Amino acid sequence: MNMISSVLQISDEYNMIIQTLYILLFIVLIFFGQRIQFHLSLLEVGSILKQLLFLRNTAINQTLNELKKYSQDETTVEKKFNRLINSFMILPEAMDPSGIVKKVEHIVDTRETRFLDDVKRIVNKENIEEAKIRNLSNMVEAAMALNIIYKIVQHYYLLAKKTKNFFVMAQLQMIVPLIFNEAKSYLQAITAFKLGTPIGDSIGPLIAHKFVFNDETKIIEEKKEFVKDTTLYIVEKNGRTFYVIKASGPGGNVGKPGEAIRKIINSLKKEKKRISGVIMIDAALKLEGEKTGEVAEGVGAAIGGIGVEKFKIEEITTKNKIPLYAIIIKQSLAEAITTMKKEIAQSVNDVISRIERLAREELKEGVIILAGIGNTIGVP
């Protein structure tokens, strides 16, 4: 009996200790829980920030090494590269929106011209192909993107750490894994640009190229540099006339499809030729769960970027009441900026058959303008 009483007494003592510990833990979590969570978040984000630094440094080193291969003076490459990678562009004031598109276009054109000229000054060996210079400039831009991503994440990390702001750190903790995946994509893009291989975003120009160069198509005329960095092909297929435009390849280049479409429409109007419609082909970001390379049709200007070229296309087609059709090939951001996947490349025949169906069923009379939108790296 005494033994049972002793066991019960020990059990009660254990229960008291456990209850006391629970109460103490509860009090600690009430008063210090947010601080503990803050430091755990700090460790997690700090770890990812170190990985981002590694990705950024890897991208910068790969780009620098590639630039040095084509430079006569390797000692000045790093200094010029650092100046270039920290350059920036200030968009014009939009408080008064009148004429804002022309202002944006002017700033963007100035930036692109200066950027390419800076790359040419770094790459100063003779007999370097224009396509290689374009690819090198794409490598620099990918390294710039990684540099900016790292700096922004570092800014908010240090700000949260300095002010001990739990809510800033919590938001950063939630979004930083997505940012890290995007950063890895840019590092993979460096390799694609270095090798000059077509990327996922090249699917539009690739389809335009395949549409023009096949046994069923008769090429009437080819106009290199129809507008800046953009090529025009006038072809006949299945008894119809197509004006096909794409960025001039095979260097990494997106051209000026908006300016090209506007120039074509104005030219055809002067010749009093009927325009059936404009068909635009471009890569588009897929939703999670959608298949890579899936093709979809719609209407509107299928083109990304800052919006200048899209505005030109919408303005000229609206003014002349020209139907605007879009065909998109779905892919993720990582797939869009890295070497083209097999599933994306296999969409070419499907898209071409859709173009032929649109020409046959919906755009029955007149000239058709076909625009392959995207970075034409690796596509002639």
**DSSP state string for 4-19:** HHHHHHHHHHHHHHHH
Cα torsion for 210, 243, 257, 132, to the nearest 10°? 40
Same domain, yes or no, for 74 and 92? yes
Do residue 355 and residue 233 come from a single domain? yes
- The total number of structural domains in the chain stands at 2
Residue-wise pLDDT for 316-342, tens only, equals: 999 999 999 999 999 999 999 999 999
290-301 confidence digits (pLDDT tens): 999 999 999 999
- pLDDT (tens digit per residue) in 148-194: 999 999 999 999 999 999 899 999 999 999 999 999 999 999 999 99
Q: What is the pLDDT of residues 191-209, one digit of tens each?
A: 999 999 999 999 999 999 9
In eight-state DSSP terms, residue 269 is: H
Q: Which of the listed residues 142, 177, 195 is the one where a domain comes to its end?
A: 195
- Closest to 218 measured CA to CA, from 235, 199, 233: 235
Claim to verify: residue 172 and residue 285 sit in the same structural domain: no
**Same-domain status, 349 and 216:** yes
Percent of the chain at pLDDT > 90 equals: 81
Whole domain around residue 299: which residue ranges?
200-372
CA atoms within 13 A on the CB side of 151: 8
The region of weakest confidence among 74-83, 119-128, 243-252, 363-372 is 119-128
The answer to the question of residue 179 being in a domain is yes
Mean pLDDT of 40-63: 95
Residue 30: the pLDDT is 67
pLDDT greater than 70 at residue 10: no
Q: Calculate the average pLDDT of the chain.
A: 92
Confidence band, pLDDT 50/70/90 cuts, at residue 8:
very low
Joined tokens for residue 283: 């890569």
Same domain, 68 and 102: yes
In this structure, of 9-23, 120-134, 166-180, 241-255, the range with the lowest mean pLDDT score is 9-23
Distance from C-alpha of 371 to C-alpha of 256, rounded to nearest angstrom: 11
